[in-house]
């Protein structure tokens, strides 16, 4: 963490991704704004082909590809890197791996995730399909703390949108993603202010 103008704290962030990385991109974009209270210092992916890695590379942000299935050694490598970069908050953004329990313990209250539904409804995958199948009137996006249970930690920020009769899983996906891109930076700032 460094201090600017004696009163604005800038916190270091790590973002974990597995694929497209559109949320990573919006998080980085927001960090470049004058008023932002964070900077992305580290991007970690379990997938070397994750498109999102290009956003980190373009901005010269340190990025690591880690095969999470391999061993405890690799998790140690992540912890070392998180310490080295003085990371205050870990943001999961489309990260498809389950982290080990001891990692959650170590970073208790310091890992957050984004999920494309109104949690506690529709945890897990294929959220938009299920929303349409169940003829929900609303859906949305949730940013929450991560604990060892899937999509179950304390909610930080949640916003909803209307599901119209003509909506399909694809149209809903687009609308929710747009909302995600606005909400994740907002939620990050909210968490950091309270650290
Ligand atoms: C987003 O819809 C997010 O809510 C979910 O996975 C998707 C990741 O998209 N957890 P992207 O990789 O950020 O584009």
> 1-37, pLDDT tens digit by residue?
444 545 568 999 999 999 999 999 999 999 999 899 9
What pLDDT does 25 receive? 98
What pLDDT does 2 receive? 46
How many domains does the chain divide into? 1
Cite the active site residues: 115
What pLDDT does 7 receive? 58
- Ligand 1 atom with the shortest distance to the CA of 141: 4
CA 83 – CA 130 distance, rounded (Å): 40
CA 189 – CA 185 distance, rounded (Å): 6
Altogether, the residues listed in the chain come to a count of: 195
- What's the whole-number mean pLDDT along residues 129-135? 98
Find the farthest-apart pair of alpha carbons in the chain and give their distance in angstroms, rounded: 53
Question: How much distance in Å is there from the Cα of 48 to the middle of ligand 1?
Answer: 17
CA 174 – CA 180 distance, rounded (Å): 10
Instruction: Please state the separation of Cα 181 from the chain's center in Å.
Output: 10
The encoded tokens of residue 130 equal 């299920």
Question: How much distance in Å is there from the Cα of 67 to the middle of ligand 1?
Answer: 20
Pairing of strands 38-45, 8-17: parallel
CA 90 – CA 113 distance, rounded (Å): 9
Structural domain harbouring 39: 2-193
Residues 6 or more apart in contact with residue 69 via CB below 8 angstroms: none
Question: How much distance in Å is there from the Cα of 44 to the middle of ligand 1?
Answer: 15
What is the enclosing helix (H) or strand (E) of 64?
Answer: strand 62-65
pLDDT score of 68 more than 80: no
CATH number at residue 176: 3.40.50.170
- What's the whole-number mean pLDDT along residues 155-170? 98
Residues 6 or more apart in contact with residue 85 via CB below 8 angstroms: 12, 14, 41, 42, 62
What pLDDT does 71 receive? 67
Q: Is the CB of 142 under 6 A from ligand 1?
A: no
The encoded tokens of residue 164 equal 């119209």
Where are the alpha helices (H) located in the chain, listed in sequence order? 22-31, 53-58, 72-84, 101-106, 127-133, 169-193
Residue of 16, 20, 114 to mutate, ligand 1, most atoms within 8 A of C-beta: 114
Pairing of strands 8-17, 2-4: antiparallel
List pLDDT tens digits, range 77-112. Answer: 899 999 999 999 999 999 999 888 888 889 999 999
List pLDDT tens digits, range 184-195. Answer: 999 999 999 988
């Amino acid at each position: 963490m460094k201090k600017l103008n004696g009163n604005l704290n800038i916190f270091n962030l790590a973002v974990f991704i597995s694929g497209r990385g559109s949320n990573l991109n919006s998080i980085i974009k927001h960090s470049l704004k004058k008023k932002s209270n964070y900077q992305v210092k580290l991007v970690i992916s379990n997938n070397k082909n994750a498109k999102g890695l290009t956003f980190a590379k373009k901005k010269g942000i340190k990025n690591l590809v880690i095969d999470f299935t391999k061993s405890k050694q690799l998790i140690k490598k992540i912890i070392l890197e998180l310490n080295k970069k003085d990371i205050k908050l870990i943001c999961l953004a489309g990260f498809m791996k389950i982290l080990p329990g001891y990692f959650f313990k170590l970073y208790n209250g310091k890992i957050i995730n984004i999920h494309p539904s109104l949690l506690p409804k529709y945890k897990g995958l294929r959220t938009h399909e299920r929303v349409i199948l169940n003829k929900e009137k609303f859906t949305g996006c949730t940013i929450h703390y991560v604990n060892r249970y899937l999509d179950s930690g304390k909610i930080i920020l949640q916003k909803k949108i209307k599901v119209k009769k003509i909506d399909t899983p694809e149209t809903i996906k687009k609308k929710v993603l747009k909302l995600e891109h606005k909400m994740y930076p907002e939620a990050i700032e909210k968490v950091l202010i309270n650290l």
